[in-house]
Structure 1
Amino acid sequence: MARVYYERLSDESAGFLEYENSRRRAHIAMVLVFEAGRLATEGGGIDFERVREIVSSRLRELPRLRTKLRRIPLDGHPVWVDDPEFNLDYHLQQSSLPRPGNQDQLCRTAARIAATRLDRSRPLWDCWVIEGLAEGRFALVLKMHKALALFEGADLLRAILSTTEGPTRCGMGRYSPRPAPSPVELFSQEVLRRWSPSRRTMGGVFNFLRKPSRAGRELKEQAEGMLRVMGYRLRPAGESPFDGNLGPHRSFSFQEVDLESVQAIRRALGGTVHDVVLTILSGALRRFLGELHVSPVTVDLRGVTPILDSLGEEAHPWFVELPIWEESGPGRHDLLCEQTRRIRAEADAASGEMLAAGDEWNAAHLFAIGARALKEIEAGQLAILQCPGPQNPLYLDGARLEECYGILPLRDSSGLGITAMSYTGSIFFAFNCDPDIVHDVRRLRDAVDSEVAELLGVSSERGPALRAVGGSDP
């Protein structure tokens, strides 16, 4: 008899499931724009069957994407089991924009897709192929629940993208789902698990009892370090025009910024690329509030930005005050650099930068790590996630990836979330908002463009900053 398979979700992942309701979502999304390449058809569309063939062939390497949720009887805790009725047609779908589709139309379509809750009776991911963009381009819109995206074997984009322009090889093979336990087996195994403490847990207890002073000192040092990092978190923030009760609708806006322009600003003003991105966003938010006839001086706004640890396995939130009241762009930059330098000096656990060059596609996994760190967003706070991508081009069956945007789920009272992803010499900003709280988010996109232009003008006048004053490279 075949051995049954199931895997209990962690309490954190189970919490993501419980968090969702008719207005709140716990899935992340990514929007990738490609040139058509060899996927173009004679009618101006995209060879959807070829895309389906590629995805289907890669699913054999990603068994996580074939698992669905079950509940332990009486207990109710969720577990993963293989879906014996998995059908790719429910997860990979096709849509089209009215040709020639523009970015605003893509944003509206992607927002409608991302606003829809994932079907809990099936594996928790969806992927849409959106054709009809100008110049024959197309987009992939992938959404995946945070409970699933954290697993290494769930990165679909990494599996289907390649660093070569040649055609993607699609192997043949058959996938056999592992048998799932019956309700009685699931309940009985859970009872045994609860009454059998792991040796690892007991070993930790014994070590603590043998050397209580050493263990206590280590715990104390870790706690003090994290409290210093989260010092901004302990000070309450006021309400802002971006706060409100979330509704069911979402609105997106995208903006591409040349990475060399950001580097030029960094060389002139000092700090890191991470600091420059925060400076750009602070100035853009100031401009946006001005268009709403809201004085930035009256708004107390803090950014919550996840930063990778030195191992690249966990992210910790930095709480940084966004100096939108400061009129001068360089002045805002200096204030932000002072904050980030102080946080870096106080906690080695949060010393890494999220926005850094990579050699391969692991952005989806890092994006999920960063999104996990954004557990609580309170009034007066904005989620700002910076995520790395490769600086060499990637391809889907020879179709070049041109743009990539990450979409954060909105949290509770915050009606705006911002991401910045780097790829092939550009930084791609994505704004996700509740349109009933933040009206016409496209103006925020335009404000980013204006802020970059102004900072570049100041940078050309100043010239390179001294390294001792400006800080280090990202």
Structure 2
Amino acid sequence: MVNRLSAEDAMYYFLDGPGTSVLTGALMIVDSTSGASASSDSVRGGQLDYPSLVSLVERRLQLVPRYRQVVKEVALGLGRPLWVDDPEFDVTYHVRLSALPQPGTAKQLEELIARLMSRPLDRTRPLWEMYLIEGLAGGRTAVLTKSHRCLIGGPADRDLSEAVTDDTPAGRSLDEDLWMPSSPPKQTSMTVGALAEAITRPRDLVDSLLRGNGPVADVWSVADKSARLVTSAVQQLVDAAPDSPLNTVTTSARLFTTAEIPRRDCVKIANRFDCTFNDVLLAVVAGVLRRWSLSVKDSVSHGETVRVIVPLRARDADTGSGRSDGAGSWMPASGPEFVTDLPVGEDSPVVRLMQVAGLADRYSGSSSRLTSEMKPLLPELGIVPFGEFSSRAFSNMFQRAYNVPIFWSDGVSERFLKGCRVDQIYTVPTLSAQRALAISVNEYGDSVQFAFLADRSVVTDLPAMAGYLVESFDELLQAGPVGLAPKHP
């Protein structure tokens, strides 16, 4: 059975290139001293080291079959690329050991993560890596998974970090995995198969050849068709985001930093000012971006805003309560999103919170600010000789739609890695072309954990954002009713 990349996965695959690498990841901080004495995976409990992690990953790969497959492109782009078993799969190539120099500080860890996320993946192998990072202060260990975005494009496609963790220290029992790679298809058979598929839909084939997706097409017709499709699919493009240094030509060099705040206090703020839990988190981000704006220029005008894109599910009635049901994921998921403005020009934290809440409510229900599921400019048939061009055209169309993407995870209950408690989980957000900053927000345990990934050449002071986040949160926590009556004084 032919297993083609979906249209969306193909878009992410072709978006890779100089200045951008469509990677996402998860950073888990593990208490290596908290392991159970045994586990259901027949892996030594109570010891998280490189051999035991490799053994665990080998057993859990059956839960994420794409992690043993490579992407094979079809000649002349006559079909979307295929997922093909890697006949030379070597788990030890993908699972790697690293260590921090003493004293193993958070700053040293963040610098290492930035360098690891700056490196492109080998496209001749399965598109992922995992790092066991030893030497953290306090006897802790970090595990970083680094995956290409096309690996986790659909709701059924889990990230490896989710596959290797468990709800309980005892783990789970899995049948022995006797995986054998299928024989890789020849390029000739891939081409013939793509043509045969196309022949069943001849109108699409002719349209692709003559109007912009075939090997004899004019590139400019592709650009024109792309522009019309995007204008139809994403209405907010007519309302450009504010000018910002955060929308600029980017490099592949990264900076990374993290911060966390107490979830219980976020709930208190939401109750005090009669808004949602997620309104509070957006307002905290607004305070961060306000402080960053003031750090790079002399002043910020009163009406100045930064436009962000947020998953629409962050506005669902059953989310944002400050409670974690444990059923969620910490990796980005496909789905509709909306753009909203954060009033960074407002100096009062309470007024800023009220404005954030009002704008988010208004825009999440507005078709002009709502995206459908973001699909690439590739027909379902999959004829993509200019796939890379089309994907980049799609990305460029979104350049002015928003300034900063915010990746919003579901609430997640306590997780264990080989019997050891995971203390913190940070999503490493995707940083695509023309974006110099991306932010992720996770609810995990008793805290809300934020991660910031930035272009090293643009946001040179990214480590300061951790301090900005704590300051922004503290001013909301301590704020009284400045011209506004809180619900619970």
Equivalent position amino acid for 1:444 in 2: M
Partner residue, 1:139: 142
Count of aligned pairs = 415
Partner residue, 2:102: 99
1:244 aligns with 2:248: yes
1:34 aligns with 2:30: yes
Partner residue, 1:340: 360
Specify the SS of the correspondent of 1:166: coil
- After TM superposition, the structure 1 stretch with the greater mean CA deviation from structure 2, 13-22 or 160-169, is 160-169
Specify the SS of the correspondent of 1:401: strand
Partner residue, 2:268: 264
CA distance 1:241–1:258, change in 2 (3 Å): same
Specify the SS of the correspondent of 1:37: coil
Larger relative contact order, structure 1 or 2 (CA cutoff 8 Å, min sep 6): 2
1:90 aligns with 2:72: no
Deviations 1:223-242 (A, max 9, x none): xxx99996654312332233
Structure with bigger helix share is 1
CA distance 1:442–1:45, change in 2 (3 Å): farther
Deviations 1:93-128 (A, max 9, x none): 010001331111111111111111111101111111
1:295 aligns with 2:315: no
- Quote the offset at 1:338 in angstroms: 1.4
Pick from 110, 120, 123: which aligns with 1:120?
A: 123
Pick from 309, 312, 316: which aligns with 1:307?
A: 312
- Quote the offset at 1:319 in angstroms: 1.2
- In 2, Cα distance between the equivalents of 1:229 and 1:340? 21
1:383 aligns with 2:405: yes
CA contact 1:229–1:343 (8 Å) conserved in 2: no
- After TM superposition, the structure 1 stretch with the greater mean CA deviation from structure 2, 11-20 or 119-128, is 11-20
Specify the SS of the correspondent of 1:100: coil
Deviations 1:255-301 (A, max 9, x none): 01111111111111222122111111111211222233432218542
CA contact 1:168–1:398 (8 Å) conserved in 2: no
Partner residue, 2:151: 148
- Quote the offset at 1:304 in angstroms: 1.4
CA contact 1:317–1:374 (8 Å) conserved in 2: no
- In 1, Cα distance between the equivalents of 2:160 and 2:82? 21
Question: Structure 1-normalised TM-score?
Answer: 0.79
Specify the SS of the correspondent of 1:30: strand
Deviations 1:114-162 (A, max 9, x none): 1111111011111111111011111111111111112424432222111
Equivalent position amino acid for 1:68 in 2: V
CA distance 1:153–1:420, change in 2 (3 Å): closer
- Quote the offset at 1:400 in angstroms: 0.5
CA distance 1:456–1:439, change in 2 (3 Å): same
Question: Structure 2-normalised TM-score?
Answer: 0.77
Specify the SS of the correspondent of 1:320: strand
CA contact 2:408–2:442 (8 Å) conserved in 1: yes
State, as a whole percentage, how many aligned pairs show the same letter: 26
Deviations 1:48-96 (A, max 9, x none): 1111111111112322211101122333642111111111011110100
- After TM superposition, the structure 1 stretch with the greater mean CA deviation from structure 2, 285-294 or 124-133, is 285-294
Equivalent position amino acid for 1:288 in 2: W
- Quote the offset at 1:171 in angstroms: 5.0
Specify the SS of the correspondent of 1:280: helix
CA contact 2:396–2:434 (8 Å) conserved in 1: no
- In 1, Cα distance between the equivalents of 2:236 and 2:274? 23
- After TM superposition, the structure 1 stretch with the greater mean CA deviation from structure 2, 13-22 or 261-270, is 13-22
Deviations 1:396-421 (A, max 9, x none): 12111111111222232221111111
- In 2, Cα distance between the equivalents of 1:29 and 1:407? 5
Specify the SS of the correspondent of 1:253: strand
- In 2, Cα distance between the equivalents of 1:229 and 1:121? 33
Which segments of 5 or more consecutive residues in structure 2 lack a partner in the other structure?
37-45, 203-229, 319-327, 372-393
